[in-house]
């Protein structure tokens, strides 16, 4: 009897049998992705825009409280742009953040950059600070979170099971060098058992090619958060099709992201089972938006519905639209 109790306690502490939850919070074309492990630890990727009477910070806090959180354990800042770092100070003023994770100093200059830096520094004073580089692990309990890009650099060696030659590279031209913070985005691959999720922020075309050409350093993933909100300056077929995601999720706004060219690349990806969007992209029309059940917000002036994902360590997962309750299950064993 004592042995059974010890086993039950060990399973409870390990989070065995519980799900990994990912909430894609609507911050109107920015990013705020909340990850909650089976052990109850949390990682928030970015915090949306500043202003709007604290709209984005409030939406994140609502999602965190619904998930049973009393604080954010790790807040990963992908890069220093207003739609990603802008809401950090407002969030930290209302909800505890344990550790702020970033790629190091902002490489952009000018008035806007200085304002963002000052705001972020005020937020940093409320928690710990961790600077990461490619290959580092973010110590989130119950899952493996490997940094694959940071400050313009990438991992040097393939992740476990990756490294296959990429035939799409030869036909993919590179673009002009991007010297903005987008190209310095901190990106990571999260693995929970057999489930794999990729978030590389607003990484742009050339840096994405560096990840998969001539060989794919990342391997295939189950869920891909579309790069740069689905803008065509990112997301070449050479990376999207090499990742071969089962499900793609686009954190676009009504007028931000979701460009038809990028949408077509994602929609045509081999092995794609479903495509979900946070917003109906006004520029895309019916031809370049998924059907209504898979879109969290149909109107430009919306209530801020998001998408939620729940994954098991077997690789099985589900996605739910918070607006209409539509949910779909994806079986394990497809990778």
Position 333 scores a pLDDT of 74
Domains and CATH numbers, the chain: 17-327 (3.60.15.10)
pLDDT in tens, 12-47: 444 556 899 999 999 999 999 999 999 999 999 999
**DSSP collapsed to 3 states, the chain:** CHHHHHHHHHHHHHCCCCCEEEEECCCCCCCCEEEECCCCCEEEECCCCCCHHHHHHHHHHHHHHHCCCCCEEEEECCCCCHHHHCCHHHHHHHCCEEEEEECCCCCCCCHHHHHHHHHHHHHHCCCEEEECCCCCECCCCCCEEEEEEECCEECCCCCCCCCCECCCCCCCCCCCCCCCHHHHCCEEEEEECCEEEEECCCCCHHHHHHHHCCECCCCCCCEEECHHHHCCCCCCHHHHHHHCCCEEEECCCCCCCCCHHHHHHHHCCCCCCEEEEEECCCCCCHHHCCCHHHEEECCCCCCCCCEEEEECCCCCEEEEECCCCCEEEECCCCC
Query: How many Cα neighbours within 13 Å face the side chain of 285?
Result: 3
pLDDT in tens, 174-196: 999 999 999 999 999 999 999 99
Position 207 scores a pLDDT of 98
Which residue has 């520094």 as its token pair?
Answer: 121
pLDDT in tens, the chain (335 residues): 434 333 333 444 445 568 999 999 999 999 999 999 999 999 999 999 999 999 999 999 999 999 999 999 999 999 999 999 999 999 999 999 999 999 999 999 999 999 999 999 999 999 999 999 999 999 999 999 999 999 999 999 999 999 999 999 999 999 999 999 999 999 999 999 999 999 999 999 999 999 999 999 999 999 999 999 999 999 999 999 999 999 999 999 999 999 999 999 999 999 999 999 999 999 999 999 999 999 999 999 999 999 999 999 999 999 999 999 999 999 997 66
Phi first, then psi: give them for residue 201, nearest 5 degrees. Answer: 60, -130
Q: What is the pTM of this model?
A: 0.94
């Amino acid at each position: 009897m004592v042995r059974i109790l010890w086993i039950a306690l060990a399973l409870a502490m390990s989070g065995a049998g519980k799900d990994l939850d990912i909430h894609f919070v609507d911050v109107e074309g920015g990013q705020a992705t909340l990850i909650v492990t089976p052990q109850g630890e949390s990682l928030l990727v970015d915090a949306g825009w500043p202003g709007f009477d604290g709209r984005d910070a409030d939406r994140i806090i609502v999602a965190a409280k619904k998930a049973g959180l009393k604080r954010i354990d790790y807040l990963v800042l992908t890069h220093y742009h207003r739609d990603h770092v802008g809401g950090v100070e407002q969030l930290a003023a209302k909800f505890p953040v344990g550790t702020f994770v970033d790629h190091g100093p902002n490489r952009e200059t000018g008035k806007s950059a200085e304002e963002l830096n000052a705001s972020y520094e005020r937020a940093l004073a409320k928690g710990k600070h961790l600077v990461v580089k490619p290959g580092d692990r973010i110590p989130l309990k119950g899952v493996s979170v490997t940094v694959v890009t940071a400050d313009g650099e990438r991992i040097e060696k393939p992740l476990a099971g990756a490294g296959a030659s990429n035939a799409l590279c030869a036909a993919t031209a590179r673009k002009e060098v991007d010297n903005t913070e987008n190209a310095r985005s901190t990106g990571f691959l999260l693995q929970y058992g057999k489930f794999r999720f990729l978030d590389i922020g607003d990484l742009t075309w050339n840096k994405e090619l560096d990840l998969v050409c001539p060989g794919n350093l990342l391997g295939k993933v189950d869920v891909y958060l579309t790069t740069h909100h689905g803008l065509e300056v990112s997301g070449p077929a050479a990376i999207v099709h090499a990742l071969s995601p089962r499900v793609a999720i686009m954190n676009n706004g009504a007028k931000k992201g979701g460009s038809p060219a990028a949408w077509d690349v994602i929609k045509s990806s081999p092995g794609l089972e479903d495509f979900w969007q946070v917003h109906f992209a006004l520029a895309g029309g019916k031809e370049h938006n998924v059907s209504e059940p898979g879109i969290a917000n149909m109107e430009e002036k919306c209530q801020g519905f998001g998408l939620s994902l729940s994954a098991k360590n077997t690789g099985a997962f589900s996605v739910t639209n918070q607006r209409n309750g539509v949910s779909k299950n994806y079986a394990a064993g497809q990778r």
